[in-house]
Structure formats: C-alpha cells, structure tokens
C-alpha cells in the first residue's frame, strides 16, 4: 500500500467520480483506475461500487476512509517536521471560513503568504457554518474563522476577533429602516429570510423570540449569508445578522435597525491544540492574526 494510492482513494471519495478525481490529481483516468485496482488487490477487497451515479463506497471502503485520512495527515506532519528542521516551509494549510467583515478577511493573508511561501498549498474549504467546529475537531482543517457556539469543546481554542450586536436587516425605505431599539414583536409579522438552524445568528434570533413567547412560521431559509443580503437588497423580505458583517458599500440599498437588548455575536479563530498543527499552519495563522491586529490599529 502506497501513500499515493490513498491520495487517489480519497480524491475519488471527495469528488464522487473517477473522472473528476483524475482531473484533480492531474492524471489520466486509466492511470488513476489502475492505481486503485492495485490498492484493492493489495487489500483483497473492492473499495468502490462503480455505477451510473458515480463511485460509491463499499463497506470496506467506508472502513478505510478514516485510516487513510489519518495516514496522509501523519505523512504531512512528518514532512513538515523535517522541513522545519531544515529551515524550509512547505506543506499545506486548510482553512474553513464564513463570510466575515473586511477587517478580518483572510484573502489578503492568502495573497501575501503565497508570495512569501510558494511551496505551501492553501485550501479554503467551502462548508456551512454549522459544520466548522466538527472539521476542526476532526483535524480536517488547520483552523476555522467562525462564530463562537455552544458546541465548542474544551479541546478547542477560541481566539476572538470581532464582537458585534445582532441587528435587523431591511431594504432601504422599509418602515423599519434606521429604527432604534426594536422589540421582537415589531418584526414578527414581517416576511423574514432565515438562516438555517445551527447558525449562531439564527440561534440568537430564535432566543430573542422565545424570551418573548413569540412563535413564527419559517417560510424561507437561505444557507448563504451573501445570498441573504442580496435577497434583502431586492426587497424579498427582512432578515437579521451580525452588524459588523453587513457591508453597506457592497450591498447598497439595504439598511439596519437596532434591537433592544441585542445579544452579541462573536467571531474568532477556532483551532485545536498548538502542537497538532504543522509548521505551515502555524505560520499562516500567525500571519493572519498579525494582519487582523494591523487592521484593528488602522481602524483605531
């Protein structure tokens, strides 16, 4: 069994097909299929059911999934350890991030880090906010830029970056636009564009309504913050969210209203113990936190 075979195995699992996995691995499909057939012969069992719907895992394939990820992660850590001794920086960084305020946007860090360390691969993992803590806990990402939630265990660290109140978001010209100290009853009859359950802003908003004994019908849920702002901008309804995450320059035509006793939404870096990250992950996180501190000083 070779590491490259495990890489090919995981590529098929994550892409869902041999064709896409081959393209991702920069190889022809016949070579990737031959690699996986050799792995199956070595293990003495089939790993995939190949059909019209793509490649599905067999029971043996599902059993191999976590050990394969662990083996590749261990190999990466071994390479990083040797590179660190030699004074080099290589490897990869995997980050999960929600839509964040400009002051803590990770894009500028990526640009500078790639220029300084071309040997490091940077991956930004697309994932819903509710899944981020799990990805950090399982070691699938080095860290996440995510809201603080009650799901964080003692094994995780949370370094706060932004603390901001929950506000109501509405189209400019709406009867609530610019209002101050709204009560939950003021918005209950409005068409509300909701974030999904599991998102921290949704938990905070639901908590406000529950405190007042108010119930509502969930008529529209959107699993993307920028899409929510776009729909508010176009007059589909009102919504709610962290004040610092509402970019009124990008989304012209929207306004906000404050909420009496609004709960605070916290955004920060979620990570595991320092020793569990590779040299590249530690260096990238240090660069990102320094960028956040610089922008905070500039804003001040």
Identify whether 227 is part of a domain: yes
Task: Please report the pLDDT score of residue 85 as a whole number.
Answer: 61
What is each CA distance from 265 to 66, 132, 149, 199, 242, in whole angstroms? 34, 16, 9, 11, 6
Reference 31, options 51, 11, 53; nearest CA is 11
CATH number of the domain residue 57 falls in: 1.10.10.10
For residues 33 and 67, the answer to whether their CB atoms sit within 8 Å is no
List the beta bridge partners of residue 49. Answer: 56
Identify whether 78 is part of a domain: yes
Identify whether 11 is part of a domain: yes
Identify whether 102 is part of a domain: no
What string of DSSP letters covers 250-288? TSTTEEEEEBTTPPEEEEEEEE--GGGS-HHHHHHHHHH
Q: What string of pLDDT tens digits covers the 300 residues of the chain? A: 888 999 999 988 888 888 888 888 888 888 989 999 999 999 999 998 877 667 889 999 999 999 998 888 888 777 777 766 655 566 778 888 877 787 888 888 999 998 888 888 888 876 666 677 788 887 778 889 988 887 777 778 889 999 999 999 999 999 999 999 999 999 999 999 999 888 899 999 999 999 999 988 888 999 888 899 999 999 999 999 999 999 888 888 999 999 999 999 999 999 886 544 567 888 888 999 998 888 777 665
As a whole number of angstroms, the distance between CA 154 and CA 157 comes to 8
Structural domain count, the chain: 2
Question: pLDDT for 279-297, tens place per residue?
Answer: 788 888 899 999 888 877 7
As a whole number of angstroms, the distance between CA 263 and CA 206 comes to 11
CATH number of the domain residue 235 falls in: 3.40.190.290
Is 260 found in the same domain as 171? yes
As a whole number of angstroms, the distance between CA 236 and CA 87 comes to 55
Identify whether 208 is part of a domain: yes
Q: Which of 88, 109, 141 is the last residue of a domain?
A: 88
Identify whether 207 is part of a domain: yes
DSSP state for residue 221 in the 8-state scheme = B
For residues 69 and 14, the answer to whether their CB atoms sit within 8 Å is no
Question: pLDDT for 122-156, tens place per residue?
Answer: 888 766 666 777 888 877 788 899 888 877 777 78
Structural domain for 212, as ranges = 162-266
Cα Dmax for the chain: 68
Backbone phi, then psi, for 236, in 5-degree steps?
-70, -30
Token duo for residue 48: 């995939």
Query: pTM of this prediction?
Result: 0.66
Q: Which of 64, 88, 112 is the last residue of a domain?
A: 88
Is 82 found in the same domain as 176? no
Q: Which of 59, 88, 117 is the last residue of a domain?
A: 88
CB environment 181-206: b (16+ within 10 A), e (fewer): ebebebbeebebbbbeeebbbbbbbe
Q: Which helix (H) or strand (E) holds 223?
A: none
Identify whether 146 is part of a domain: no
Q: Is the dihedral of CA 249, 251, 252, 253 positive or negative?
A: negative
Identify whether 7 is part of a domain: yes
């Amino acid at each position: 069994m070779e590491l490259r075979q495990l890489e090919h195995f995981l590529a098929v699992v994550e892409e869902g097909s041999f064709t896409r996995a081959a393209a991702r691995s920069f190889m022809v499909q016949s070579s990737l299929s031959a690699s996986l057939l050799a792995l199956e012969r070595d293990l003495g069992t089939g790993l995939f059911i190949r059909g019209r719907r793509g490649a599905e895992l067999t029971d043996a394939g599902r059993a191999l999934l976590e050990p394969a990820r662990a083996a590749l992660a261990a190999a990466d850590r071994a390479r990083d350890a040797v590179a660190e001794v030699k004074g080099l920086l290589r490897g990869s960084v995997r980050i999960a991030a929600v839509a964040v305020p400009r002051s803590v946007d990770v894009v500028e860090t990526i640009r500078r880090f790639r220029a300084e360390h071309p040997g490091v691969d940077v991956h930004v993992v697309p994932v819903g906010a509710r899944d981020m803590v799990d990805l950090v806990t399982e070691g699938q990402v080095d860290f996440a830029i995510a809201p603080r939630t009650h799901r964080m265990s003692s094994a995780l660290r949370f370094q706060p970056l932004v603390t901001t109140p929950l506000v109501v978001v509405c189209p400019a010209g709406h009867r609530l636009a610019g209002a101050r100290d709204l009560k939950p009853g003021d918005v209950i009859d409005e068409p509300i564009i909701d974030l999904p359950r599991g998102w921290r802003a949704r938990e905070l908003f639901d908590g406000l309504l529950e405190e007042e004994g108010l119930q509502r019908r969930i008529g529209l849920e959107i699993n993307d913050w920028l899409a929510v702002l776009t729909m508010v901008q176009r007059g589909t309804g009102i919504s709610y969210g962290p004040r610092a995450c509402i970019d009124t320059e990008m989304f012209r035509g929207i306004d906000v209203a404050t909420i009496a006793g609004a709960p605070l939404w916290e955004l920060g870096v979620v990570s595991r113990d320092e020793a569990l990250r590779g040299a590249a992950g530690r260096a990238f996180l240090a660069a990102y936190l320094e960028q956040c501190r610089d922008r905070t000083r500039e804003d001040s």
